[in-house]
Amino acid sequence: MIPAAFDYEVAESVEHALGLLAADPDAKVLAGGHSLVPALKLRIARPSKLVDIGRLSDLAYVRDAGSQVAIGALTRHVDVQGDPLLQEHCPIVSMTAGKVGDPQVRHRGTIGGSVAHGDPASDLPSVMRALDAEFVIVGAGGERTVGAGDFFTGVFQTAVGHGELLTEIRVPKLGDTTGWSYLKYHRRAQDWATVGVAAIVHRDNGTATSASVSLTNMGGTPLRASAVEAAIAAGSSPAEAAVHAADDTEPSTDTAASAEFRRHLARVLTERALTQARA
């Protein structure tokens, strides 16, 4: 559990971080470290340099941004969990942040690190996908905004390119007629999701009129369950719609579950999440 040798530099500013990254194609960004450090210790990741952005306190915030809530990339899970603005306007994010890992992880891990890591078993990426969140990425060429549909590009891969930094995540304010649920099945309290389902449901008198449903760990990236969404829009019940939850998915088989069982879990959890979000 000793990492291969690497250099280490503390970034003093976003610009400084970008400069350090640009100068070294094998450098990696260190934020909370809760995904990167284990990978280093197992020598799965062998960067030449770590650029520590942990002191860029300017990137730790939750702000009102009109129809959206803006979350700084360096905001710790525990601060996302307890943020009153998110609890009021987008509680699925604060609630899910409170389900990540265990208290130690939540006190060090950051929302930006979690989503930029692109782990298909992570909770927050899936929630962001259901919310159609926006991601602000800065690089040498300036700033760009990427939607969730384009942000997660593959297993441990996102739209954040080398020499770039994710600085902010924007989530929509959910109105009174919007219900939500994030359910994950995991064996032990601290485990990653075997399968998770995020559901955002627009409702009218207890009936779902439309829904956004995203699946965790059912493929290389968070996946929108578009057949489920179409069924809801067409007036199907949660049980009827959930039958389609695993359509067009290719989940992996590992020691936690077979692909077949993951598909089953996706259907069970989708029905439950839709029912909970509609209520």
Partner 1 sequence: MSATETWGIGAPLKRKEDGPLLRGRGTYVDNLDLPGTVVMIIVRSPYAHARIASIDTAAAKAAEGVVAVFTGADLRDDWKAAMPCAWPVTEDMKNPEHFPLAVSQVNYQGDGVAVVIADTRAHAVDAAELVDAEYDVLEAVVDVAAAARDGGTLVHEELGTNVSYVWPLESGTFDEDADVIVKHTYVQPPLIPNAIEPRGVVARPEPGGDVTLWSATQVPHILRVLTAATLGMSETKLRVIAPDVGGGFGSKCDVYAEELLAGAIARRLGTPVKWIEERSENALATIHGRDFVTTLELAATADGKITSLRANVIASMGAYLQLVTPGIPLLGAWIYAGPYAIPNYSVTFTGVFTNTTPTDAYRGAGRPEATYVLERTMDLLAKELGMDRLELRRRNFITEFPATIASGLTIDSGDYHASLDRLLEHLGLEELEAEQQARRDRDDVKQIGVGFSTYNEMCGLAPSRILGAIRYAAGGWETATIRCLPTGTFQVVTGTSPHGQGHETAWSQIVADQLGCDPSEVEVLHGDTSISPYGLDTYGSRSLPVGGAALWSAGEKIIEKAREIVAHQLEVSADDLEYEAGTFTVKGSPDKEMTVKGAAWAAFTAHNLPDGMEPNLEATATYDPPNFSWPGGAHAAVVEVDTGTGDARLIRYVAIDDVGTVVNPLIVDGQVHGGITQGIATALYEEAIYDEDGNLANGTMAMYLVPSAAELPSYELDRTESKATDHPFGAKGVGETGTIAAAPAVINAVIDALSHLGVTDIQMPATPERVWRAIEEAKQ
Indicate whether 272 belongs to the interface with partner 1 (CB under 8 A). Answer: yes
Of 174, 265, 273, 274, which lies in the binding site for partner 1, with binding defined by CB under 8 A?
265
* 3-class DSSP state of 34: coil
Question: Distance between CA 279 and CA 263 in Å, rounded?
Answer: 25
Indicate whether 44 belongs to the interface with partner 1 (CB under 8 A). Answer: no
Of 5, 84, 204, 234, which lies in the binding site for partner 1, with binding defined by CB under 8 A?
5
* 3-class DSSP state of 269: helix
Is residue 39 within 8 A of residue 3, CB to CB? The reply is no
Q: Between residues 66 and 188, which has the closer beta carbon with respect to partner 1?
A: 188
Q: Residue 34 — φ and ψ, nearest 5°?
A: -80, -10
Q: How far is the CB of 201 from partner 1 (least distance, A)?
A: 19
Indicate whether 8 belongs to the interface with partner 1 (CB under 8 A). Answer: no
Strand 207-216 and strand 195-204: the pairing is antiparallel
Strand 27-30 and strand 49-52: the pairing is parallel
- List the one residue out of 135, 143, 147, 105 whose CA is nearest residue 122: 105
Q: How far is the CB of 187 from partner 1 (least distance, A)?
A: 5
Indicate whether 1 belongs to the interface with partner 1 (CB under 8 A). Answer: yes
Q: Which of residues 154-213 bind partner 1 (CB under 8 A)?
A: 185, 187-192, 194
Question: Distance between CA 92 and CA 275 in Å, rounded?
Answer: 15
The first and second tokens of residue 27, run together, are 């450098």
Is residue 130 within 8 A of residue 157, CB to CB? The reply is no
Indicate whether 37 belongs to the interface with partner 1 (CB under 8 A). Answer: no
Count of residues interacting with partner 1 (CB under 8 A): 25
Indicate whether 6 belongs to the interface with partner 1 (CB under 8 A). Answer: no
Of 74, 256, 274, 277, which lies in the binding site for partner 1, with binding defined by CB under 8 A?
256
Q: How far is the CB of 5 from partner 1 (least distance, A)?
A: 7
Give every CB contact of residue 202 below 8 A, 6+ residues apart in sequence: 177, 178, 179, 208, 209, 210, 211
Stretch that binds partner 1, among 48-56, 71-79, 210-218, 259-267 (CB under 8 A): 259-267
Indicate whether 258 belongs to the interface with partner 1 (CB under 8 A). Answer: yes
**How far is the CA of 50 from the CAs of 162, 168, 233, in angstroms?**
13, 21, 47
Stretch that binds partner 1, among 74-82, 92-100, 173-181, 257-265 (CB under 8 A): 257-265
Q: Which residues bind partner 1 (CB under 8 A)?
A: 1-2, 4-5, 42-43, 185, 187-192, 194, 254-258, 261, 264-265, 268-269, 272
